[in-house]
Amino acid sequence: MPKPRLAAALKYRPSNRLKYAFAGALLAGTTAVASVTGTAIAATGGAAAPVEPNPAIAQQQAAQLTYGQDVSNYQPDHDWAASPAEFGIIKATEGTGFTDKTFARHWQELDKKGIVRGAYHYAHPRNNPIAEAEHFLSVVNSQPAKPGDLLVLDLETTNGRSVSEVNAWAKAWLSHVKAKTGVTPLFYSGWHFADTYGAGLSEYPLWVAHYSKPKGEITPPADWKSWTIHQYSDKPIDHNVSALTPDQLRSLGRPA
């Protein structure tokens, strides 16, 4: 049985989709590295010509991605000290009353390791978005913070609400957390869910789950022009890559 936070991503995942591109406004003006492996554009008399993928280039591009992991109470004893991750994101809360019992332990272990860390909230649109945002902030703020800590909304279910209602709910939660903390939260969801419910959310960096293609080989859904993190596998834990460097990821988190 899939974990609750992945159930919707799996439900809304068509068999032939998973596309996503990368990195946010932070990388504007730099060279896109995640979408070159399929088709390149050659300047031949102004016409676009397909060329064969270059395995060496693809390997180099994959090496440039920043690897990370995310966990919850399903992985209570995850060994962060032995992990190769350069960033870690952990579940803090869900709804208006649930607090992940392993949050404090993971938060402290990530601090010891010294990598980029973040906390996410699993949303239920049947509840008041401000109440859920306040619950999340109360739990996260109960732990020592440091510059660069990321904040994330995990939205994967509708609770029977309409597209417009879910979209408005997400905007309310995100804007409230941003106003309270000065941090622009990341938005996490499955690719198809984000494509359906994510209109107007492009100001929030995108963390998107899509397992049908190799890491980094997707295009962004809905209004996003780029992606920040790609969750490309959940076996045996959730694996992610970012087109941002660790320092660039930190720049999206809490200010100094």
Per-residue pLDDT in tens (0 to 9) along the chain, 256 residues: 334 444 433 333 333 333 333 334 343 333 333 333 332 222 333 333 434 445 444 445 566 999 999 999 999 999 999 999 999 999 999 999 999 999 999 999 999 999 999 999 999 999 999 999 999 999 999 999 999 999 999 999 999 999 999 999 999 999 999 999 999 999 999 999 999 999 999 999 999 999 998 999 999 999 999 999 999 999 999 999 999 999 999 999 999 9
What is the token pair recorded at 87?
A: 């960033």
Using only C-alpha atoms, the chain has a radius of gyration, in whole angstroms, of 18
| Beta strand pairing call for 98-99 and 87-94 | antiparallel
Cβ-based neighbours of 113, under 8 Å, separated by 6 or more? 80, 81, 83, 88
Phi, psi values for residue 187, rounded to 5°: -115, 120
Local structure of 133: helix, strand or coil: helix
Angle (nearest 5°) at CA 120 between 119 and 125: 155
CB neighbourhood size of 142 (10 A): 13
The closest alpha carbon to 54, from 41, 32, 36, belongs to 36
| Contact in structure between 20 and 227 (CB atoms under 8 Å) | yes
